[in-house]
């Protein structure tokens, strides 16, 4: 079955061009965009006329879903006291929480994510195999696409490690520094053998950077992507660009945890593929709109010339898709997957000299009308708040 969306505006193609009065025809079974046109009427018999802006669905490239219900605890604590495994407050709370509470927490995070108009998020899920299974269960209930990166427990033998990799979409380590080179190499080989994702927090804090976690991670772990890079500078960004290792930056989390200011402008200039994530759902509200606005403004502070709306729109769409190995995504075009978010024609977005800039700087979750993941709606049926 095909359906055509007749929309007022759409952001089309890899150059994110703004087009007016656009028809987007979707093959619902295949979940693909099959035609884009400019006729007054759509291609299918009953085109849907929607007063909306169609954009490629944004992707939140880094979250921790289970701490939503611990929100705002330990406000005066340092990052180590708050979230560092195994003794940080978050890990004590996770250990103490009942399964039902964790399920509720993950579910709230997912519902919130859907309400912000994203179709996908990548979750660094704590708690080994059990933690991964909990997140899978919630994701299935909401139909949201959660990319779950599991974390091996210290006591895991080889069999358990393999099972974890099998259950998850890959591995996401809090830090590679707590593992021996031989162990990292084994994890790397196993994960890559399964064609899955291999990620870690890297150089989030000054101390981890000074301990050499960047070189250590690249040498022994050989990640598919890294997260944070708060302390990375031009030389390291150039290495990432050359080795084609994407970087997920989380500037709001870096500010909240008081670890430092990520050099986003430098990362862009060096050619590193940058995407954005909101990190811990308990301390940073998982809104990709707040994140992209903050990242843009911070970059503007660092180098105004780098504050180009297209670059930032690409971070939360195409770059994030590539980082998570999601092919044919992040762009609305013929042959691409129909992952489309429809935004209302809200005055805060359309009364503007630059719609793309307004989208990244002024969108609110109340402006989100619908999210389609491979042509199927995520919002209307599932959201109660
Ligand atoms: Zn994180």
Q: Which residues of 330-369 are buried (b: 16+ CB within 10 A; e: fewer)?
A: bbbeeebbbbbbbbbbbeebbeeeebbbbbbbbbbbebbb
Please state whether beta strands 274-276 and 197-202 pair in parallel, antiparallel, or not at all (unpaired).
unpaired
Q: pLDDT of 254-305, one tens digit each?
A: 999 999 999 999 999 999 999 999 999 999 999 999 999 999 999 999 999 9
Q: What integer pLDDT is reported at residue 378 of this predicted model?
A: 86
Whole-angstrom distance, CA of residue 105 vs CA of residue 101: 6
Q: What is the pTM of this model?
A: 0.96
**Any idea which fold 59-323 has?**
TIM Barrel (3.20.20)
Residue 381 has pLDDT above 50, yes or no: no
Whole-angstrom distance, CA of residue 23 vs CA of residue 39: 7
- How far is the centre of ligand 1, averaged over its atoms, from the C-alpha of 151 (Å)? 12
| CATH 3.90.1150.10 for the 2-57+330-380 domain, yes or no | no
- How far is the centre of ligand 1, averaged over its atoms, from the C-alpha of 63 (Å)? 6
Q: pLDDT of 205-225, one tens digit each?
A: 999 999 999 999 999 999 999
Q: pLDDT of 320-366, one tens digit each?
A: 999 999 999 999 999 999 999 999 999 999 999 999 999 999 999 99
Q: pLDDT of 91-148, one tens digit each?
A: 899 889 899 999 999 999 999 999 999 999 999 999 999 999 999 999 999 889 999 9
Domain boundaries, the chain: 2-57+330-380, 59-323
CB 92 within 8 A of CB 263: no
- How far is the centre of ligand 1, averaged over its atoms, from the C-alpha of 280 (Å)? 6
E strands within the chain?
2-12, 17-27, 32-37, 48-56, 59-64, 120-125, 145-150, 170-173, 197-202, 225-228, 247-249, 274-276, 279-280, 340-344, 368-373, 376-377
Residue 170 has pLDDT above 70, yes or no: yes
Q: Which residues of 132-142 are buried (b: 16+ CB within 10 A; e: fewer)?
A: bebbbebbeeb
- How far is the centre of ligand 1, averaged over its atoms, from the C-alpha of 172 (Å)? 9
Give residue 75's Cα distance to chain centre. Answer: 25
- How far is the centre of ligand 1, averaged over its atoms, from the C-alpha of 338 (Å)? 29
pLDDT, mean over the chain:
94
Residue 383 has pLDDT above 50, yes or no: no
How would residue 43 be classed by pLDDT, with cut points 50, 70 and 90?
Answer: low
Q: What integer pLDDT is reported at residue 382 of this predicted model?
A: 45
- How far is the centre of ligand 1, averaged over its atoms, from the C-alpha of 3 (Å)? 39
- How far is the centre of ligand 1, averaged over its atoms, from the C-alpha of 204 (Å)? 9
Average pLDDT (150-172) is: 96
């Amino acid at each position: 079955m095909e359906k055509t969306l007749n929309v007022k505006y759409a952001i089309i193609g890899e150059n994110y061009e703004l087009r007016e009065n656009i028809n987007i025809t979707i093959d619902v079974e295949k979940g693909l965009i099959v035609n884009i046109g400019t006729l007054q009427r759509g291609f299918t018999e009953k085109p849907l006329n929607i007063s909306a802006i169609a954009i490629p669905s944004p992707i939140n490239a880094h979250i921790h879903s289970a701490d939503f219900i611990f929100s705002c605890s330990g406000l005066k604590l340092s990052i180590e006291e708050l979230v560092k495994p195994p003794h940080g407050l978050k890990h004590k709370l996770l250990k103490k929480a009942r399964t039902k509470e964790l399920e509720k927490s993950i579910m709230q995070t997912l519902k919130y994510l859907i309400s912000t108009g994203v179709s996908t998020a990548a979750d660094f899920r704590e708690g080994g195999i059990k933690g991964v299974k909990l997140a899978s269960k919630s994701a299935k209930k909401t139909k949201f696409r959660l990319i779950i990166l599991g974390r091996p427990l210290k006591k895991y033998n080889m069999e358990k490690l393999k099972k974890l990799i099998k259950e998850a979409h890959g591995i996401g380590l809090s830090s590679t520094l707590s593992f021996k080179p031989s162990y990292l190499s084994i994890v790397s080989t196993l994960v890559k053998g399964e064609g899955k994702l291999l990620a870690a927090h890297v150089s989030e804090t000054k101390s981890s950077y000074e301990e050499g976690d960047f070189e250590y991670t690249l040498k022994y772990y050989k990640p598919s992507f890294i997260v944070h890079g708060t302390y990375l500078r031009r030389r390291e960004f150039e290495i990432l660009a050359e080795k084609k290792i994407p970087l997920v930056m989380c500037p709001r989390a870096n500010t909240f945890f008081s670890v430092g200011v990520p050099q986003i402008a430098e990362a862009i200039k060096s050619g590193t593929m940058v995407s954005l994530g909101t990190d811990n759902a308990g301390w940073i509200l998982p809104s990709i709109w707040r994140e992209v606005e903050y990242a843009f403004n911070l970059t503007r502070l660092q180098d105004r010339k780098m504050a180009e709306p297209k670059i930032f729109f690409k971070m939360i769409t195409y770059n994030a898709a590539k980082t998570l190995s999601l092919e044919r995504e992040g762009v609305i075009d013929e042959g691409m997957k129909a992952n489309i978010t429809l935004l209302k024609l809200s005055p805060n977005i359309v009364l503007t000299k630059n719609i793309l800039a307004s989208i990244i700087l002024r969108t609110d979750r109340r402006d989100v009308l619908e999210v389609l993941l491979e042509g199927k709606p995520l919002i209307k049926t599932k959201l109660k708040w």
